[in-house]
Amino acid sequence: MARSFSMHFKVEEVFHNDGLWVLNKPSKVLSHPNPPAKEAKNAILQVPYDSQREVFISKNEHGGVEEVELLHRLDQDTSGLILLCTDFELGAQLKELFFRHEIRKEYLALVGGVPRSKEGIWADRLTRQKQGKQVKVVVQKGGRPNAETRFRVLKTFDNGGLSLLSLSPITGKTHQLRVQCASRGHPIAGDERYGDFKWNRQLKEAIELRRMYLHASRMSFRHPKTGRNLKFEASGGRSLEAPIENLS
């Protein structure tokens, strides 16, 4: 199962067993085609996608139909681990784990400046706001927080001009990490929507950063059926390694 699904040529397979399929998605590749399109050349899988059911559909060598469920998404500009499922019963159980925040995810982010504390939890109330023809996520003052992220400073560069952070979202709101970083004066390097555009151009020239520096590097959870504790890791490759080397 899942072998009949053609992957985007830049996508890497991390794990495929026990009903799970874990992929490493590069930046600029879509988690799924944007509706109403059913297929996209820059989607992780090169087969039709049913956006209502959130499944990719393919035909196997015997002419039968196979389906794989997409369990969560990453922004197009974000790279890293993405989880799919070939067992729909397992898929429902994993979605429940996501709902209960029992699937732990860690992202690496290069940001401007240095947070006041070396580690802690950011809690905000995020809402969507229309700005011209674009809809952006913003931090709303007051009200009960609906977005929480655990952060930790891993390393600082350029005399405190940049920091490499570990970000572990407790909740899963749209653009949560990008907005929470930017709202605190620590925009993610290369973020073209919430970041500092002039600074992004400077980074592109200075350290050859040609993408947004946000990468889903680790994921861990207990398999609902087998009881196995699973841990996955994925490298961001040279697009993230080279800029750090240029800073060091």
Cα gap 158→180, rounded to integer Å: 22
Residue 124 designated active-site = no
For CA atoms 40, 43, 44, 50, give the dihedral sign. Answer: negative
Residue of 50, 75, 124, 191 marked active site: 75
CB 127 within 8 A of CB 138: yes
Going by C-beta distance under 8 Å and a sequence separation of 6 or more, which residues neighbour residue 173?
A: 126, 137, 146, 147
Residue 191 near residue 53 (C-beta atoms within 8 A): no
Q: Say which residues have a Cβ less than 8 Å from residue 120's Cβ, sequence separation at least 6.
A: 150, 151
Residue indicated by tokens 């560069």: 157
What pairing do the DSSP bridges indicate for beta strands 214-222 and 79-85?
parallel
Catalytic site positions: 75
